[in-house]
Amino acid sequence: MIKHCIFCKIARGEIPSEKIYENDNFFSIPDANPKIKGHSLIISKKHFETLLDLPSTLGTELLDCIKKTVLKLIDKHKSEGFNIVNNNFECAGQAVKHVHFHILPREEGGKVPRVY
């Protein structure tokens, strides 16, 4: 973990958060600055800067966290679909240098938000 990383601080419990779902290596929380209703984040508990740094062996747990989070968000917000967004490196819009995925519950006819 990195001392100054905001997502590492959340993972360590130094910054309180409302967890939507959690397993051994990932957790999900509502986005602090949501682009749309239900906008949430999937975050690795260990510090990996980008998706390329994330070990492939964590793929099953990542998918578990994504699916369980999405199902809860769809139920809570009565969504009809969802987007998953993952930005890697600054030129692609990655603002926090800790791998994370944006989950965006969607409704029919809703505008696709920009998630940088």
Active site positions, annotated: 100
DSSP state of 82: E
Dihedral, 11, 29, 59, 8 alpha carbons, nearest 10: -20
From CA 18, how far away is CA 28, in angstroms rounded?
A: 8
Using alpha carbons, select from 34, 12, 114, 23 the residue that is nearest to residue 69.
23
